[in-house]
C-alpha cells in the first residue's frame, strides 16, 4: 500500500517558533520520501489547527500523520482522537517532540535547533512508515476501590468513592483511624478542634454500608493491573474478641505493665492492654504483643482472669485476606523527622516536637489541656518555637520546605498565649510562609493581639541550665545575639515520608523521589496519578501539605477513581512487548527485570509469555533479552536503525 504521510509543524506560539525556523522545517520535509503534505500553524492543538489536520486527511487521502509539536504527554491523545475521527488508525500517528527536545534546550542556538528539529521530524517519519495498525485491548474492570491509610486523606477518599455507590476497602496500619489529624489540638486559621471536625466523617465511614475497614493491617502483596488488582492484606491479631468485649476497662486496671503511649507521642503512658484513643471514634480493646508479659513467655493472666465476658484470646493468629479491586488510592501520610538528628539541640524532656505540643494543648491530651511541661509538670512561662528544624537545612536535614510549620507554630503560639495569659512565646524563624486564604492575617494577629514575639534568625544551640533550657540564637533584623531562658522548647521538625513508604512503593510498582515521597506521573498534568495506571496519590504521602491541601488532593484522587469506574470497560494501550517464541530460549531474564511482573515463563513450552494488560511498555525486557526474542509493537529493530541512520546522517 502506498504511504501518504502528512507532516504538521506547530509554532506553539513562540515556544517553538521563537527558536526553530518552522518554515525551514516544512521546506526540508515536504519532499521527503512518502511525505505528500507539509504545513505549519501557530497552534496545532487549537480547534482551527485540528480542523486543518482533519481536512488534510480527507483531501490528501493520508495514511499516516506526523505532528511536530510538544511532548507526547501533552497532546498525543488529542491528535490520536483527531485522526481516529477521520477513520485513520490512531497508531498511525507519531509525535515529533520539537519543543521539549529542541526549542527549549537550544533557545540560544537557533541554527542548531532548526537542524535538530528537521532530524527529529524525519526520524518520526521513518518510524511511522513501519507502524502497524493496532487496537486497544479490553480488560476487565472490578468497580471496587482500595484506600491505603486511615488518616484524614484516607477517610475523605473512602467517603467520596463509597458515596458514589462503589464498595471501598480501607487498610490502616494502626489499630485506630484518624491518623495524625486526630492528634491535633486545633486547625489554623480558624482554631477549630480537629476531632470535632473528623467525628462525623469517622462515624459516617464506620457505619457506611459500602466501606469495609481493616485496622492493624498492612499490604502484603499487590499483583495485577488497573481494573483487576489482586491485593493480599496481612491483619495482626488484637488478642481480644471484639464481639465479646464490652469495653468495660477492667482489664486495663489489672494489667501490671505500663508503656509509652504512641498516640500521645510518649508524653503519657498506657497499659499493655489498652483501648484506642477516644479522638479516633473507633474504640476497641487490644493487646500490645511487644509489651504483654504473657505473649513474651510470662505466666501473667491478669486481663484474662478479670474479663467478665471472656473476651481475651491469646491464641489469635495473624491472618491474611485477599481482595480484588479496580483502583488503589495511597494515603499513608507522613512522619515527623526525629529531633535527635540535630546534635546542637540537646536532647531533653522539655525539648519537644510539634505533635507533642499538640497533645499538650489538646483538651483530651495527657494534661487535659493544661499547659504543663513534661519534666516536672510546671506551667511554662516562657516557651520558644524553632522553625525549619530539618526543613530548608541541607546541612542537617532536607532542602525542601515542610509548608505547614510556619502556620502551626502561629496556631500553637496563639493557643498557648490564651491558655497562659502571663506567659511569653518566642518564635525563631527564617521566613514566614503564610500563602493561603486568611493565613497572613492569622500570623499578624498572633504577633499583634497575642503578643507573640517573632525573631528572624536561627538557633545555634540548646542546653539545660538548671530548671531552664538555654536558647542561643540571633536576631538578624537587629543584628544582635539572643539568649532566652526557656521553660519549654518546641522544634518544628520536617515532615518526612513514613519509614515504610519505599517498601510500600515497591509493592505497588510506584516511583519515589530522592527523599522517599511517592511521585506523581506529571507535576502539572497528572498531579494525583502515578506511572502505574489505576494507582493514585492522596495527601502527604506525596509531599508536605496542610489539611485543606490534603483534602483537595484527595478529592482529586477520588475523582480519578470515579472517572475510571464510570466506564463500562477499560482499554489498555496495545503498544506492548511480545516474545518471538521461535527465538525465545526461556532463560527468564526478561521476567526477572520486569518491574511490573508482566512476564512469566511457560513451564511447558519454556518460552516467555507477556500479560499484555500489565505491560507498561518500558522496554526493559527487550534491552535485556540475550537472544533478541522480545519485541515491541511499533518499536521494532528496523524502525530503530532507520531512525538512527536519519539522526546520524544529519551530522555527517
pLDDT single digits (tens) 500-553:
999 999 999 999 999 999 999 999 889 999 999 999 999 999 999 999 999 999
Residue 650 in domain: no
Paired with 169 in beta bridges are 146, 212
What cell numbers appear for 345 in the block? 539541640
Pair (287, 379) in one structural domain = no
Q: What distance in Å separates the CA atoms of residue 152 and residue 164, rounded to the nearest whole number?
A: 19
Pair (130, 185) in one structural domain = no
Q: What distance in Å separates the CA atoms of residue 526 and residue 435, rounded to the nearest whole number?
A: 23
Residue with cell 544529519: 650
pLDDT for 547: 96
Q: What distance in Å separates the CA atoms of residue 169 and residue 245, rounded to the nearest whole number?
A: 24
Q: Cα separations (Å) of 251 from 10, 240, 316, 364? A: 74, 11, 18, 22
Q: How far is CA 638 from the centre of its chain?
A: 39
Pair (61, 167) in one structural domain = no
Quote the strand ranges of 267-404, DSSP E: 269-271, 273-275, 285-287, 319-325, 327-330, 334-336, 351-353, 382-389
Residue 398 pLDDT class (50, 70, 90 cuts): very high
Residue 2 pLDDT class (50, 70, 90 cuts): confident
Average pLDDT over residues 47-65: 97
Instruction: Dump the DSSP string for 263-303.
Output: TTTTSSEEESEEE--GGGS---EEE-TTT-TGGGT----HH
Q: What distance in Å separates the CA atoms of residue 355 and residue 336, rounded to the nearest whole number?
A: 8
Average pLDDT over residues 56-85: 96
Residue with cell 499538640: 358
Q: Give the predicted TM-score (pTM) of the model.
A: 0.87
Pair (47, 107) in one structural domain = yes
Pairing verdict, β 35-41 and 5-10? parallel
Pair (356, 285) in one structural domain = no
Residue 242 in domain: no
What cell numbers appear for 204 in the block? 459516617
Residue that is last in its domain, among 555, 571, 587: 571
Pair (108, 164) in one structural domain = no
Contact between 123 and 647 under an 8 Å Cβ cutoff? The reply is yes
Pair (96, 158) in one structural domain = no
Q: What distance in Å separates the CA atoms of residue 372 and residue 487, rounded to the nearest whole number?
A: 10
Residue with cell 487549537: 46
Q: Which residues contact 221 (CB under 8 A, 6 or more apart)?
A: 231, 232, 507
Residue that is last in its domain, among 479, 496, 513: 496
Pair (505, 578) in one structural domain = no
- pLDDT exceeds 60 at position 652: no
Residue 326 in domain: yes
Paired with 269 in beta bridges are 260
Q: What distance in Å separates the CA atoms of residue 422 and residue 152, rounded to the nearest whole number?
A: 35
Q: What distance in Å separates the CA atoms of residue 149 and residue 138, rounded to the nearest whole number?
A: 31
Residue 648 in domain: no
Pair (329, 424) in one structural domain = no
Q: Cα separations (Å) of 236 from 151, 173, 220, 296? A: 19, 9, 12, 16
pLDDT for 193: 86
Angle between helices 47-60 and 72-85 (to 10 degrees): 50
Pair (439, 516) in one structural domain = no
Q: How many other CB atoms sit within 10 Å of the CB of residue 404? A: 23
Query: Whole domain around residue 418: which residue ranges?
Result: 336-496
Pair (115, 204) in one structural domain = no
Nearest to 492 by CA among 414, 410, 574: 410
Q: Cα separations (Å) of 351 from 356, 385, 386, 403, 496? A: 10, 10, 10, 22, 20
Q: What is the mean pLDDT of the chain?
A: 95
- What confidence tens digit (pLDDT) does each residue in 324-351 have? 999 999 999 999 999 989 888 989 999 9
Residue 67 in domain: yes
Contact between 216 and 174 under an 8 Å Cβ cutoff? The reply is yes
Pair (198, 69) in one structural domain = no
Q: How far is CA 191 from the centre of its chain?
A: 27
- What confidence tens digit (pLDDT) does each residue in 549-608 have? 999 999 999 999 999 999 988 988 999 999 999 999 999 999 999 988 899 999 999 999
Residue that is last in its domain, among 134, 152, 184: 134
Q: What distance in Å separates the CA atoms of residue 345 and residue 338, rounded to the nearest whole number?
A: 12
Residue 201 in domain: yes
- pLDDT exceeds 90 at position 613: no
CATH code, 110: 3.40.50
Residue 243 in domain: no
Pairing verdict, β 351-353 and 488-493? parallel
Q: List, in sequence order, the alpha helices (H) in 338-456.
A: 354-361, 405-419, 439-448
CATH code, 559: 3.50.50.60
- pLDDT exceeds 60 at position 197: yes
As a whole number of Å, the CA-based R_g of the chain is 30
DSSP structure class, residue 99: I
Q: What percent of the chain has pLDDT over 70?
A: 100
pLDDT for 194: 84
Q: What distance in Å separates the CA atoms of residue 326 and residue 561, rounded to the nearest whole number?
A: 9
Contact between 260 and 266 under an 8 Å Cβ cutoff? The reply is yes
Up-side HSE of residue 23: CA atoms within 13 Å toward CB?
A: 1
Domain count along the chain = 5
DSSP structure class, residue 516: S
Residue 639 in domain: no
Nearest to 502 by CA among 518, 491, 488: 518
Amino acid at each position: 500500500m502506498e504511504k501518504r504521510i502528512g507532516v504538521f509543524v506547530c509554532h506553539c506560539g513562540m515556544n517553538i517558533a521563537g527558536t526553530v525556523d518552522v518554515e525551514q522545517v516544512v521546506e526540508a520535509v515536504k519532499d521527503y520520501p512518502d511525505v505528500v503534505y507539509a504545513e505549519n500553524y501557530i497552534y496545532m492543538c487549537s480547534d482551527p489547527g485540528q480542523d486543518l489536520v482533519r481536512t488534510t486527511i480527507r483531501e490528501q487521502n493520508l495514511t499516516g500523520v506526523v505532528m511536530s509539536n510538544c511532548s507526547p504527554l501533552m497532546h498525543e491523545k488529542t491528535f490520536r482522537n483527531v485522526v481516529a475521527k477521520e477513520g485513520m488508525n490512531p497508531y498511525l500517528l507519531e509525535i515529533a517532540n520539537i519543543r521539549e527536545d529542541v526549542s527549549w534546550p537550544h533557545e540560544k542556538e537557533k541554527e542548531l535547533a532548526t537542524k535538530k528539529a528537521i532530524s527529529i521530524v524525519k526520524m518520526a517519519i521513518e518510524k511511522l512508515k513501519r507502524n502497524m495498525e493496532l487496537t486497544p485491548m479490553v480488560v476487565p474492570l472490578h468497580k471496587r476501590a482500595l484506600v491505603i491509610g486511615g488518616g484524614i486523606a484516607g477517610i475523605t477518599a473512602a467517603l467520596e468513592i463509597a458515596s458514589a455507590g462503589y464498595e471501598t476497602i480501607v487498610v490502616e496500619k494502626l489499630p485506630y483511624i484518624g491518623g495524625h489529624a486526630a492528634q491535633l489540638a486545633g486547625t489554623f486559621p480558624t482554631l477549630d478542634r480537629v476531632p470535632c471536625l473528623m467525628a462525623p466523617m469517622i462515624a459516617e465511614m464506620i457505619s457506611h454500608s459500602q466501606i469495609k475497614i481493616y485496622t492493624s493491617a498492612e499490604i502484603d502483596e499487590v499483583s495485577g493491573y488497573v481494573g483487576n488488582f489482586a491485593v493480599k492484606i496481612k491483619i495482626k491479631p488484637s488478642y481480644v474478641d471484639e464481639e465479646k468485649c464490652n469495653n468495660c476497662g477492667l482489664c486495663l486496671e489489672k494489667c501490671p505493665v505500663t508503656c509509652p503511649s504512641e498516640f500521645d507521642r510518649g508524653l503519657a503512658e498506657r497499659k499493655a492492654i489498652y483501648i484506642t484513643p477516644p479522638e479516633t471514634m473507633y474504640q476497641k480493646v487490644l493487646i500490645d504483643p511487644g509489651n504483654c508479659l504473657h505473649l513474651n513467655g510470662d505466666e501473667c493472666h491478669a486481663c484474662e482472669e478479670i474479663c467478665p465476658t471472656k473476651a481475651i484470646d491469646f491464641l489469635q493468629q495473624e491472618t491474611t485476606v485477599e481482595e480484588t479491586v479496580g483502583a488503589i488510592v495511597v494515603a499513608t501520610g507522613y512522619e515527623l523527622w526525629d529531633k535527635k538528628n540535630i546534635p546542637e539541640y540537646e536532647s531533653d524532656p522539655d525539648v519537644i516536637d510539634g505533635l507533642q505540643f499538640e497533645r499538650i494543648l489538646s483538651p483530651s491530651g495527657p494534661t487535659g489541656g493544661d499547659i504543663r511541661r513534661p519534666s516536672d509538670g510546671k506551667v511554662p512561662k516562657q516557651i520558644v518555637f524553632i522553625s525549619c528544624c530539618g526543613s530548608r537545612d541541607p546541612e542537617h536535614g532536607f532542602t525542601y520546605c515542610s509548608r505547614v510549620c510556619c502556620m502551626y507554630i502561629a496556631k500553637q503560639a496563639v493557643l498557648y498565649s490564651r491558655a497562659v495569659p502571663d506567659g511569653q512565646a518566642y518564635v525563631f524563624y527564617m521566613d514566614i510562609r503564610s500563602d493561603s486564604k486568611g493565613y497572613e492575617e492569622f500570623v499578624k494577629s498572633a504577633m499583634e493581639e497575642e503578643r507573640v514575639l517573632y525573631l528572624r534568625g536561627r538557633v545555634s544551640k540548646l542546653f539545660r541550665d538548671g530548671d531552664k533550657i538555654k536558647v542561643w540564637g540571633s536576631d538578624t533584623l537587629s543584628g544582635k545575639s539572643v539568649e532566652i531562658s526557656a521553660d519549654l522548647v518546641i522544634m518544628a521538625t520536617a515532615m518526612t515520608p513514613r519509614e515504610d513508604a519505599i517498601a510500600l512503593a515497591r509493592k505497588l510498582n510506584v516511583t519515589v523521589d530522592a527523599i522517599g515521597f511517592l511521585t506523581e506521573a506529571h507535576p502539572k498534568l497528572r498531579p494525583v496519578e502515578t506511572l502505574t495506571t489505576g494507582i493514585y496519590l492522596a495527601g502527604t504521602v506525596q509531599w508536605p501539605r496542610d489539611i485543606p491541601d490534603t483534602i483537595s488532593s484527595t478529592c482529586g484522587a477520588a475523582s480519578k477513581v470515579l472517572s475510571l469506574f464510570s466506564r463500562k470497560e477499560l482499554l489498555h494501550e496495545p503498544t506492548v512487548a511480545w516474545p518471538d517464541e521461535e527465538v525465545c530460549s526461556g532463560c527468564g531474564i526478561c521476567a526477572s527485570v520486569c518491574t511490573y511482573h508482566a512476564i512469566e515463563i511457560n513451564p511447558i513450552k519454556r518460552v516467555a509469555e507477556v500479560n499484555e494488560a500489565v505491560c507498561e511498555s518500558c522496554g526493559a525486557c527487550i534491552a535485556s533479552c540475550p537472544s533478541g526474542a522480545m519485541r515491541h509493537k511499533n518499536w521494532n529493530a528496523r524502525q530503530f536503525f532507520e531512525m538512527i541512520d536519519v539522526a546520524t546522517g544529519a551530522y555527517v
